Amino acid sequence: MLRILINALRTGVVTTRYPAEPSVPPERFRGAPMLRPGSGLPPPAVCPTGALSEHFDAGRRHVALDLARCVFCGRCAEDPWAGAVAMGRDFELAARCRDDLRIEVVADDLTVPAAELAAGPTPDPNAEAARAASEIHRVLGRSLHLRHLDAGSCNACDWELAALLNPVYDVRRLGIDFVASPRHADGVVVTGPVTRNLETAVRRTVEAVPDPRVVIAVGACAASGGIVGEGYASAGGVDRVLPVDVYIPGCPPRPEAILFGILVALGRLDARRQPREGGRVGAAPAVSLC
């Protein structure tokens, strides 16, 4: 017992201060791809999950990247498209609305300034406020109990959720905890594309959560079906079965990204902002955290 105490004291405090202080991922980290308009943009077939799509509008080629489908494999940023696509380091990608996760770029128009075009659609602040249900913030803002629901994930997202409870991220310091029964929960964190064998259990679990409740889809599979897609054994994403409050892209999303997403769901942080130039990342909290 004494040795345990000594070891603990010697290890000291290892907890990160995120989100009070920004978290900088390592150099090789593959965050949201940044598309530069030009002719070098890759064809949609390059993407293994179909996150890249193109359409033609008035003769101009528009290329869109759906972050909810992206598995961050980095293939679109490899040669010969390395000039047009770069894997950024932005991981705070959670959004309330699926459309906010679409980045659209016009492929062959060089006259439009890069900064303007590299941005995604500006989230409408009024809609934002309306959607950030004040009731949720008032009731759940200071203490949120989440029920984890594995709807058929590959377990990477599940392990990242489990990592939130380790001494480094210690999500309980933010008033967030994971509970055993949906009856004790304020919300459900769903991973996986909702497999056929689990569909009934998924519906029953969310139904068993008392109101008000939030549903958070974590990972590419939950947000859109991801690498699994829709199939005989998969519904193709949580929103095919349940209404989703927040989408957190990633394959898997880093624990800080998940944390960001949960705080967005609570209204304690604003959702995905416009990506900054050069891939600088940083999160300024919308309200003070206590």
Partner 1 sequence: MEFSALQPIEAAVTLSVIWIGLGTIGLAGMRAPRFITGVVFPAGALVSLALAVTGLWAIGAPTSSAILPAGLPDLPFHVRLDALSGFFLLLLGGVSFGVSLFAAGYFRDTEPATLGLLTLQYHVFLASMAFVLIADDAYLFMVTWESMALSSYFLVTTEHHSETNRRAGFIYLLIAHIGALGILLCFGVLHGGHGDYTFAALRAADLKGYWATVAFLLAFFGFGAKAGMLPLHVWLPEAHPAAPSPVSALMSGVMLKTAIYGMVRVIFDLIGNIRWEWGLTVLLFGAATSLFGVLFALMQHDLKRLLAYHSVENIGIILIGIGLAMVFIGSGLPVAGALALIAGLYHTLNHAVFKGLLFLGAGAILKSTGLRNLNEMGGLIRYMPHTALYFLVGALAISALPPLNGFVSEWLTFQASLQAPQLASSVVRSLVPIVAAVLALSGALTGMCFVKVYGIAFLGQHRHEVAVKPREASGWERAGMLWLAIACLALGLLPVFMIGEINKVSLALTGTGLSSEALASGWLWLAPTSGVQASYSPVVFLLVIAAVFGLTFLLVRHFYHGRLRRADPWDCGFPAQTSRMQDSADAFGQPIRQIFAPAFLIQREIPRADDPQPVFTQSVKDRHWRAIYLPIAYFTEFLSGHVGKLQQGRISVYLLYSFVTLIALLVFAQ
Partner 2 sequence: MADSFLIDALRSGVDGSIDANVGPRPSDLTLRLGRTGDLPAAAAVLIGSHAMALATVVATDETATPDGDLKVRYVFEPIVPGTTDRFVTLLISVDAACPEAPSLTAAVPAANWHEREMQDLFGIVSVGHPDPRALVVHDGWPRGVFPLRKTFDGSRHVAVEPADEFPHLVAEGEGVFEIPVGPIHAGIIEPGHFRFTSVGETVLHLDARLFYTHRGLEKRMEGLAPLDAFYVAERICGVCSVAHGMGYCEALEQIAGVDAPPRARIIRSIALELERLYNHVGDIGNICAGAAFHYGTATGAYLKERLQQMNERLAGNRFLRGLVIPGGARLDLPDDLLRVLVATLQDTLAGLDSLMGRIEANPSVVDRLDDTGVLKHQAALDLAVAGVAARASGVDRDARRDHPHGAFALPEPPDLHVVTVPKGDAMARVTVRAREARESIRLVGEFVRRLEPGPLRVALAEPLPGGRIGISAIESARGEAVHWLRTDALGRVERYHLRSPSYHNWPAVALAAETAIVPDFPLVNKSFELCYSCTDR
**Residues 253, 276: Cα–Cα separation, whole Å:** 19
Instruction: Count the residues of the shown chain that bind partner 1, applying the rule CB under 8 A.
Output: 13
Please, which residue, 112 or 233, has the CB nearer to partner 2? 233
**Span near partner 1 by CB under 8 A; candidates 82-90, 112-120, 203-211, 249-257:** 203-211
Min dist CB 6 to partner 1, Å, is 38
Q: Which does 155 bind (CB under 5 to 8 A by kind): partner 1, partner 2, none?
A: partner 2
Return the half-sphere exposure (C-beta side, CA atoms, 13 A cut-off) of residue 108.
11
Residue 80: asked if its preceding bond is cis (omega within 30°), the reply is yes
| Least distance to partner 2, CB of residue 200, Å | 6
Q: Which of 49, 191, 195, 205 binds partner 1 (CB under 8 A)?
A: 205
CA angle 136, 139, 145 (to 5 degrees): 85
Parallel, antiparallel, or unpaired for β 85-87 and 60-66? unpaired
Site string for partner 1, 160-189 (x = CB under 8 A): ---------------------xxx------
> Which are the contacts of 127, defined by CB distance < 8 A and separation ≥ 6?
none
As to burial, measured by CB atoms within 10 angstroms (0-12 exposed, 13-18 middle, 19+ buried), residue 208 is middle
Site for partner 1 in 85-144 (CB under 8 A): none
In angstroms, the CA 249 to CA 227 distance is: 12
**Interface of this chain with partner 2, residues 23 to 42, rule: CB under 8 A:** 25-30
Q: Which does 20 bind (CB under 5 to 8 A by kind): partner 1, partner 2, none?
A: none
Out of partner 2, partner 1, none, which partner does residue 72 contact, by CB within 5 to 8 A per kind? partner 2
The tokens of 135 are what? 């009731």
**What gap in Å lies between CA 83 and CA 80, rounded to an integer?**
8
What's the angle, vertex CA 139, arms to CA 136 and CA 143, rounded to 5? 100
Distance of CA 172 to the CA centre of its chain: 20
Among 3, 200, 232, 290, binds partner 1 (CB under 8 A): 200
How many angstroms separate the CA atoms of 245 and 96, rounded? 6
Contact mark string toward partner 2, 116..155, x via CB under 8 A: --------------------------------xxx-xxxx
Residue 222 binds partner 1, judged by CB under 8 A? no
Q: Which chain residues interact with partner 2 by CB under 8 A?
A: 3-4, 7-8, 11, 14, 25-30, 48-49, 71-75, 87, 148-150, 152-163, 165-169, 178, 180-182, 192-193, 195-201, 205, 226-236, 240, 251-252, 254
Contact positions vs partner 1 (CB under 8 A): 181-183, 198, 200-202, 204-205, 207-208, 210-211
